[in-house]
Structure 1
Amino acid sequence: MLVEALVGKRYSREIHHAIADAIRDGELQSGQALPSVRALAADLGVSPGTVSLAYRTLRERGLITSGDRKRARVAAKPAVPAIGDMPVRPGIRDLRTVAPDTEMLPDVRRFLGAGSARSGEYAMQNVTAELGAVMRGLFGGDGIDGHLTVTNGAHDAVERIALALVAPGSTVAVEDPGWIAGYGLLRTAGYALAGVDVDARGLIPASLSAVMKQHHCAMLLLQPRAQNPTGAALDAPRAEELREILQEYPNCVVVEDDHVSLVSGSPAHSLTHGRRSWAVIRSMSKILGPDLRLAVMSSDRTTADLVQGRQALGPGWVSHLVQRSVAAMLADAACSARIADAADAYRTRREAFAGELAIRGIDVIGSSGFTLTVPVGDESTVCAELMARGWAVRAGELSRLSSPPFVRVCTADLSAADARALAADLSDIANSLTRGRVL
C-alpha cells in the first residue's frame, strides 16, 4: 500500500512528504515497519541514497525511528507530546513535572495591584517602563545588552522567533537530550532537528561542530544552565569554545532559553555575544510562579522588531497589569531575598539527591536547576518498578533523539529523606536488572 502511494516519487523530498502525509492521515500506524532502504529504492527505481535521505529527514522530524540493523518504524512518540501527565494514584510521589516548590514562591498577592489603576487603556508599548528598567539591570548584570520584548512565556518567545526568522523546512540544532516542548514546537512548525550531544558543561564542542558542518543549521536552541533534562550548565571556558565554533556560522540564529535564571544556582554564560541574530529568554514561571505566563527576551534589534510585529497581529501585547506586578516583585527587597533562598534550597535538594546516587555508584551530570537524569537500560521497566514502589518519574524517550536512555527526576521539592529512599530504590532496581532477576 505504501509503495503504491510512492509510485512516481523520484526525489527524497517527495518520498519524505508522502510518508509524512501517510503517518499524519493514519494510513501508517505507530510501530508499523517501513520497507528497507534497498527494497524501497528498488521498488521505486531510485538510488538507496535517495531513500536513505528521506528516512533521515523523517527521523529528524521524530516521525520514524530505527536502531542498529533494525527496520525503520513509525515512531510511537508523537511530534506534539500529550498535554499534561496521566494522574497517579494517591500516595505516589510525583516527580515528573519540572515545577518550582510552591512553598518557595513569593506571595504574588502582595503585588497584583501594582499599576492596576492604569490598566483601562489599550497598550501601545511592548514593555512597560517599570519592567524594562528592572530587566535591563538583570540582563546587563550578566553582560547581555539587547532590545527587550515581553512574551506570554518562553514557549511563546521560541515559537515567534522561529516563525519570524527561520524558513520552513530548515534544520534547527537542539540539545540531545533536550527540552520536550521545544522538540514538539519545532517539529510541528515543520523544522528538522539535529541533536547536539550534552555533558555536564552543556553542549559538547566537537558535536556542535560536526552538526553545524553537516547541516548548516538555521537556528541553535539551547538552555545554557539548568538544562532540562540533565541539569547541565555552561561554564566560561566551554562557552568561549562554543562561541568560536559558532563564529563560522554568522547566519545561525542563537536562541537561549534561560528558563530558571535567578534560581538556577549557576552563573550566566551566554553564547550570544557578538551574534548578528540572537535572543536570550528569561521566564518568570520558575521564579515567581507558572501562572504569571510572562517571559522577557533580550535580543538584537531586528529579532525584537520581527517578534513584536508578529505579536501585534495576534494578542497585541502582554498584560501591562501583569508586567507591573512582576516588576514590583523583582524590585522588592523581601521578594529578592525569597528568590535567593529558593535558589539555595533547590541547590541543596539537587545536590542531596546526586550525593545519594553517587554513594550507590550511580553518576549524574547535573549541577544546576530542577532536574537530574539517571541513566538506565530500560526506561519503561524502571518507571514501572518505581511506580510500584511509590515514585512517578519521567521516562527519557520524548527527550531524546539518539542519546542513551534515562529517567528524569525533578528535585525541586525532594526532601533529604525522599532523596535517600528514591536513590536506594533506583539502585536496587538497577542491580536487579543487571542480575537478570525478574522484578
Structure 2
Amino acid sequence: MWKPDRSVKKPIYQQIADYIERRITFGEFPPGSSLPSERKLADSLGVNRSTVILAYEELRASGIIESAKGSGTRVTRHKWGITPKQTPNWKTYVEGGTFLPNLPFIRRIREELRIAPGAIDFASGELSTDLFPNDIIRELLQTKSFQEDLGYDDPQGYSPLRETLVRFLETQLHIQSTESSILITSGSQQSLYLITQCLLSPGDAVAIEDPSYCYSLPMFQSAGLRLFRLPVDDEGMNPDDIIALHRQHRIRMLFLNPNFQNPTGSVLSLERKTRLLSIASELGIPIVEDDPFTLTSFEGTPPPTLKSLDKTGNVLYIGSLSKIAASGLRIGWLIAPQAVVSRLTDARQQMDFGLSRIPQWVANHFIAGGHFENQIHLLRKSLKLKRDSLMSGLHDIMGDSVSFMEPQGGLNIWCKFNREVDDFKLLDEAIKRGVLFVPGSVYGSDQGHMRVSFARPRQDEIRQGLAQLYEALQEHK
C-alpha cells in the first residue's frame, strides 16, 4: 500500500492530496464514489487525522471532492468536465459478477494483517517464516541445474512431479495412484474451484461439515450450490446423518476434511470412516477429501486417509505443500479417476494454460530428494511445542473463560467461550490490542467460538498474544 514519503520536503498532507487526486484521475474513485473517512485513512497511512483533514481540505478547495453532513466525503461528479456518462461506474461492476467476495470477517482480518504486520497472528493458517524450508529451496535452486523448456507445461502438471508424488503418497499415506490420475494445481483452493465449476451445477445439493472451512469459501455460493451441514463432534461427522440428508435433498457430493479437521482439529474415527465409505458407495455419492494436515500427526503415525481406505473409487483426494511446507510455491495435487482428471485439466488449461514449470521443478526435487520428509519430521516437533505453549497459555491466562479439545495434529485449536460473546465486538477489541483470531461464525458455527492457530506466531509471542486476547475478552462485556 502507498505510504507518504517522510524523507522529501513536500508536506505529508500535500502528498496525500496528490495521491488521492491521481487515484480519482485514473478512475479508481469514480465520480460520486465515497472516500475513506478521515480516521480510517489516517490509520491506514500511519499519519495523524489532522494531516488527512488538511489533505481533504486541499481537495475540496480544488473542487475535486465534496462533503455533506451525514454522507461523508465523495468525489465530485462534475470536475474537469467528467460526468458519470463518460466514466464507468466501477462500483456497479465491483458489486456485480457471479464470483462473490470473501466474508466480511475474512476481509477485515486480511486488511489488518496488511496494515499492521506486527500484530500477533492467531488467524492465519500459515506457518511462521522460521518453519519454511527456505534454506533447502535456496540450495536446490543453486545446486540443481534447471534444463527444462520454458514453454507452456503439460496442463495436467509436470510429469516428473506427478511420478514423484505417486511414490511419496504410497510410502507416506498408503494412497495408491498413477501419474495419469494426478492433476497438479496451484493449491487446494484451485482444486476445490475446479470441482465446483466442472463437476457440479447450480442448484446441486452438497454436504459439508459443521463447522467447516468450506463454509468460509464464497466459491460454493458463487457456484450456486446448496450447502447442507453435517455436525462435527470429537470423532468427526456422523456418517448416518448423510442418509437423511440425501433422502431429503439428493446430495450430489460430500466435502470433508477428516483428519485434524479445520477448524475443530477432530479426527474422523476409523469406524466412522469405514461407515462413511460404505454409505457413500451405496448411495453413489462422491467424497472430496481435503487433506492439508494428516502428515502433521504429532505422534508420528498419521491416521488413515479416506483415500487409502477407498476400494470403490468414490474419493477425490486433495493435498498440497501450502500448509506444511512452502505456501509460496503454490503446489497442490488432486487425485481422481482419469475421466475426471481429463475434464478438470481441460478447464484448467482454459484458465491459465497450466502452472509454471519452475515451481513444479523445485517441488519435484524437494520431495524426491527426501527434503519434504525431513520437513515433516521437523514440523511435527515444532508444531507440537507451539501447541503445548498455546494450551498452557489458554489454561493459565484464559482460565475457565474458554474450553477446548487437545488436537493431535494440524495447526489450530478450536475454543468455545464459556459465556455469551459477540464475535464482531471481540475481534474489534482484539485488533485494538494488536492480536488477531478467526471468529467461529466464519466457519458456520454459532457465535461464541474462535479458531486460534499456533502455526504463525513465534514461540515467544504466544503467551503475550493470549494475554492481549484475554484483555479484549475482559473489555467485551
Asked if these proteins are the same fold (TM beyond 0.5), I'd say: yes
**How far has the Cα of 1:407 moved from its partner?**
1.6
- 1:347 and 1:369 in contact (8 A); partners too: no
Between the aligned partners of 1:336 and 1:320, the Cα distance in structure 2 is: 22
The superposition leaves residues 182-239 of structure 1 with CA deviations (integer Å, 9 ceiling, x where unpaired) of 6311111111111111123322334444433332211111222232222222342332
Q: 2:161 aligned to 131, 142, 154, which one?
A: 131
Q: Which residue of 2 is the match for residue 368 of structure 1?
A: 409
Q: Look up the SS of the partner of 1:285 in the other structure.
A: coil
TM-score with structure 1 length normalisation? Answer: 0.72
Q: Is the 8 A contact 1:375 1:404 kept in 2?
A: no
1:411 Cα deviation after fit: 0.4
Mapping of residues 84-123 of structure 1, within 5 Å: 84-86=110-112, 87=114, 89=116, 92-107=119-134, 108-112=137-141, 114=144, 116-123=146-153
Change (3 A) 1:316 1:392: same
Counterpart in the other structure of 1:393: 437
Check conservation: 2:155, 2:353, Cα contact below 8 A. no
* Secondary structure of residue in 2 paired with 1:130: helix
Separation (CA, whole Å) in 2 of partners of 1:302 and 1:182: 29
What displacement does 1:423 show?
4.6
| Secondary structure of 2:319's aligned partner | strand
- Cα distance between partner residues in 2 of 1:278 and 1:311: 20
Match of 1:172 in 2: 206
Q: Does 1:143 align with 2:177?
A: no
How far residue 427 of structure 1 moved from its aligned partner, in angstroms, is 5.8
1: CA distance, partners of 2:155 / 2:145: 15
Q: Please say if 1:410 is aligned against 2:453.
A: yes
| Alpha-carbon distance in 2 for matches of 1:94, 1:403 | 23
Distance 1:312 1:92 in 2: 39
Post-superposition offset of 1:308: 1.3
Gapped runs of 5+ residues in structure 1? 1-62, 64-75
Greater Cα shift, 412-421 or 193-202: 412-421
Displacement of 1:425 in angstroms is: 5.7
| Cα pair 2:155 2:355 within 8 Å, conserved | no
Partner residue of 2:56?
none
Q: Which residue of 2 aligns with 1:343?
A: 380
- Partner-residue secondary structure (3-state), 2:341: helix
C-alpha separation between the residues in 1 aligned to 2:131 and 2:118?
Answer: 23
Matches of 1:332 and 1:347 in 2, distance apart?
25
Question: What CA distance in whole angstroms lies between the structure 2 residues aligned with 1:191 and 1:319?
Answer: 31
Change (3 A) 1:83 1:421: closer
Q: 1:133 to 1:90 in 2, by over 3 A?
A: closer
* 2:348 alignment partner in structure 1: 311
> How does the TM-score come out when normalised to structure 2?
0.67
Query: Does the residue aligned with 1:159 lie in a helix, a strand or coil?
Result: helix
Amino acid at match of 1:85: E
Question: 1: CA distance between counterparts of 2:232 and 2:427?
Answer: 23
Q: Where in structure 2 are there 5+ consecutive unaligned residues? A: 1-99
Aligned equivalent of 2:425, options 349, 359, 381:
381
Decide whether the 8 Å contact of 1:93 with 1:390 is kept in 2.
yes
SS in 1 for 2:324: helix
Alignment-mate amino acid for residue 110 of structure 2: G
- Cα distance in structure 2, aligned partners of 1:155 and 1:222: 14
Could you tell me which residue of structure 1 aligns to residue 217 of structure 2?
183
**Distance (Å, rounded) in 2 between the aligned partners of 1:275 and 1:81:** 40
CA-CA distance at 1:143 after TM superposition? 2.9
CA distance, structure 1, for counterparts of residue 158 and residue 470 of structure 2: 51
Conserved? CA contact 2:296–2:302, under 8 Å: no
Name the aligned partner's letter for residue 454 of structure 2.
T
Q: Deviations over 1:264-312 (max 9, x none)?
A: 5471433341344431111111233212111111112222121112223
- 1:413, CA displacement in angstroms? 3.7
Aligned to 1:160: 194
Aligned letter for 2:350? L
Deviation at 1:173, TM superposition (A): 0.9
CA spacing shift, 1:264–1:214, aligned 2, 3 Å: farther
Q: How far apart, CA to CA, are the structure 2 residues paired with 1:307 and 1:331?
A: 26
Is the contact made by 1:227 and 1:368 (CA closer than 8 Å) also made in structure 2? no
SS of the residue corresponding to residue 274 of structure 1 reads coil
- In structure 1, give the amino acid aligned to 2:128: D
Distance 1:354 1:117 in 2: 48
Q: Write the distance in 1 (CA, Å) between the matches of 2:217 and 2:146.
A: 37
CA distance in 2, matches of 1:164, 1:342: 35
Return the match for 1:271 from 306, 315, 318: 306
Which of 220, 234, 238 is matched with 2:272 structurally? 238
Cα deviations by residue, 1:48-101 (Å, 9 ceiling, x for unpaired): xxxxxxxxxxxxxxx9xxxxxxxxxxxx95699679333454753122211112
Matched-pair contact (CA < 8 Å) for 2:414–2:449:
yes
Contact 1:111 1:325 in 2 (8 A): yes
Q: How much has 1:153 moved relative to structure 2?
A: 1.2
1:258–1:280 CA contact under 8 A, matched in 2? yes
Measure, in 1, the Cα distance between the counterparts of 2:268 and 2:333: 21
- 3-state DSSP of counterpart to 1:347: helix
Deviation, 1:158, is: 0.9
Deviations 1:96-140 (A, max 9, x none): 211112111112222246563212344346233421232112222
SS in 1 for 2:190: helix
Question: In terms of mean alpha carbon deviation, does 357-366 or 288-297 score higher?
Answer: 357-366
Offset of residue 155 of structure 1: 1.0
Contact kept in structure 2, 1:277 and 1:300, CA below 8 Å: no
* CA deviation map 1:305-331 (0-9, x unaligned): 211122233322222222121010112
2:104, 2:472 → 1: CA distance? 29
Distance of aligned partners of 1:371 and 1:148 in 2 relative to their CA distance in 1, 3 Å threshold: same
Q: Distance in 1 between matches of 2:232 and 2:374?
A: 32
SS at match of 2:209: strand
Q: CA RMSD in A?
A: 3.2
